[in-house]
């Protein structure tokens, strides 16, 4: 199978390694495309055992030329979110299937363009929801499928981003809602997809509130950072700021971004307290599902710890699942838990709570990435997936529609009816 990758920032590396190393014996990387010559060169040079003249590289305006000359079977899209649709649509119309990073896209207009092109071409789109493949999250699906708590009636779901990971969204391009859709699209698409998949349902109504309460100039003044600069590099307040990102101290970030700035002017370390940030850092969402279940969801991007808490209410009992990824952030440094980081408790009505032995795995993202990459790049070597973890353009669409509807609710102060929103946008989408 021949692959091309568009977007050679940090996110693409997982896919490049899978294509050229882990599953290199059955796949070939035939092209790389990006706006930045330095990142292109770094990516091409990282490919082992190159033959001939190495990996062909193309600038972004040459994307169609790459497809014409290299004729990949599939294109992997890892560009910024608001550009996904351009490359997904162009790749499908050139006769390629697509693997795209989440979120599939950011708004209704871009979503319609993707869905229309997919219907016209019949090409496939796989959206990489690695959280589905995390053994602990797959175990939850297994328990729900088996009817451990009967019919799920409600879900309480909180996601905590700490002051390292959470802050990072406010220094990069993600901080502008027109580029990322805000965290309810960019980040929460993972979480809303999990709920869609766990419940085997799709959102019907969405109500939300959101605000930027922490990453703003007032917080900087409160922390005594009045003399802060526009970015961390060269900032006069850097030594006093727990939120600083030192690009020069990290060899990978230095090579990918700091030393590539003069080419495209992209700064990876903008100040997280800037006034022009347009995304929220505090969000609460209520969702009604076609199945009759409901969801209360909270995302906080400045928590003192990182992880998730989810409680499933069912007609036969409850499941409570908690994952502490980072205990806390102290002086800008993260302390990770060493044991008992993931717990799942089943409490059937009339019985004492039962602590479940949690499924585990090896590899990045809690053991999810190796499994997902196996299904993507070597499906014949993987066992049949009885959990339905692979995701198509339909799953990708439903995962972002909760966030898009939530953004609309925040803006209007009213409940968003998803079917009406889709109809008004001319989008026809099958239910899950």
Give the pLDDT confidence of 368-393 residue by residue, as tens digits: 999 999 999 999 999 999 999 999 99
- Residues 121-168: tens digit of each pLDDT: 999 999 999 999 999 999 999 999 999 999 999 999 999 999 999 999
Nearest to 9 by CA among 64, 66, 71, 83: 83
- Could you give the domains of the chain? 2-129 (3.40.50.720), 131-214+278-363+391-419 (3.30.360.10), 217-264 (no CATH)
Residue 187 to residue 191: CA distance in whole angstroms: 8
pLDDT of res. 51: 72
Q: Does residue 340 register a pLDDT over 80? A: no
pLDDT of res. 364: 87
Q: Is the dihedral of CA 416, 418, 419, 422 positive or negative?
A: positive
Q: How many CA atoms lie within 13 A of 239 on its CB side?
A: 1
Residue 258 to residue 250: CA distance in whole angstroms: 10
Mean pLDDT estimate for the chain: 96
362 CB-contact burial (10 Å; exposed 0-12 / middle 13-18 / buried 19+): exposed
Higher-confidence residue: 334 or 265?
Answer: 265
- Residue 344's beta-bridge partner residues? 321, 356
Assign 206 to helix, strand or coil: strand
Least confident segment among 35-49, 191-205, 251-265, 324-338: 324-338
Map tokens 């971004």 to a residue.
257
Rounded to two decimals, the pTM is 0.96
> Contact 404/411 with Cβ under 8 angstroms?
no
Residue 338: which pLDDT band, with cuts at 50, 70 and 90?
A: confident
Higher-confidence residue: 65 or 51?
Answer: 65
């Amino acid at each position: 199978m021949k692959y091309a990758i568009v977007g050679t920032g940090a996110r693409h590396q997982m896919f490049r390694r899978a294509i050229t190393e882990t599953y290199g014996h059955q796949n070939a990387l035939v092209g790389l495309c990006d706006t930045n010559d330095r990142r292109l060169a770094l990516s091409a040079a990282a490919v082992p055992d190159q033959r001939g003249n190495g990996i062909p590289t193309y600038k972004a305006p040459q994307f169609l030329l790459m497809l014409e000359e290299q004729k990949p079977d599939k294109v992997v899209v890892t560009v910024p979110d608001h550009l996904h649709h351009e490359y997904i649509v162009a790749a499908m119309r050139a006769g390629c299937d697509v693997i795209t990073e989440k979120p599939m896209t950011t708004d209704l207009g871009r979503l319609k363009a993707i869905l229309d092109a997919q219907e016209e071409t019949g090409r496939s789109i796989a959206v990489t929801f690695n959280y589905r493949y995390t053994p602990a999250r797959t175990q939850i699906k297994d328990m729900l499928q088996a009817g451990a708590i009967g019919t799920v009636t409600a879900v309480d779901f909180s996601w905590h981003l700490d002051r390292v990971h959470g802050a990072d969204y406010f220094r990069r391009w993600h901080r502008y809602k027109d580029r990322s859709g805000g965290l309810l699209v960019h980040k929460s698409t993972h979480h809303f997809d999990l709920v869609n998949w766990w419940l085997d349902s799709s959102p019907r109504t969405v109500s939300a509130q959101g605000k930027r309460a922490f990453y703003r100039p007032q917080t900087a003044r409160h922390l005594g950072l009045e003399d802060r600069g526009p970015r961390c590099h060269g900032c006069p307040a850097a030594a006093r700021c727990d939120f600083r990102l030192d690009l020069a101290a990290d060899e990978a970030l230095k090579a990918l971004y700091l030393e590539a700035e003069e080419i495209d002017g992209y700064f990876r370390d903008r100040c997280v307290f800037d006034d022009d940030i347009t995304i929220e850092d505090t969000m609460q969402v209520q969702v009604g599902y076609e199945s009759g279940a409901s969801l209360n969801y909270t995302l906080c991007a400045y928590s003192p710890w990182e992880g998730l808490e989810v409680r499933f209410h069912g007609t036969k009992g409850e499941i409570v699942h908690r994952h502490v990824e980072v205990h806390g952030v102290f002086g800008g440094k993260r302390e990770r838990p060493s044991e008992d980081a993931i717990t799942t408790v089943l409490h059937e009505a009339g019985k004492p709570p039962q602590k479940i032995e949690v499924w585990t795995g090896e590899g990045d993202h809690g053991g999810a990435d190796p499994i997902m990459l196996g299904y993507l790049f070597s499906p014949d070597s993987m066992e049949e997936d009885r959990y339905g973890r692979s995701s198509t353009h339909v799953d990708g669409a439903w995962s972002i529609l909760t966030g898009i509807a939530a953004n609309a609710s925040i803006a209007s102060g009213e409940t968003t009816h998803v079917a009406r929103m889709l109809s008004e946008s001319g989008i026809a989408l099958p239910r899950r």
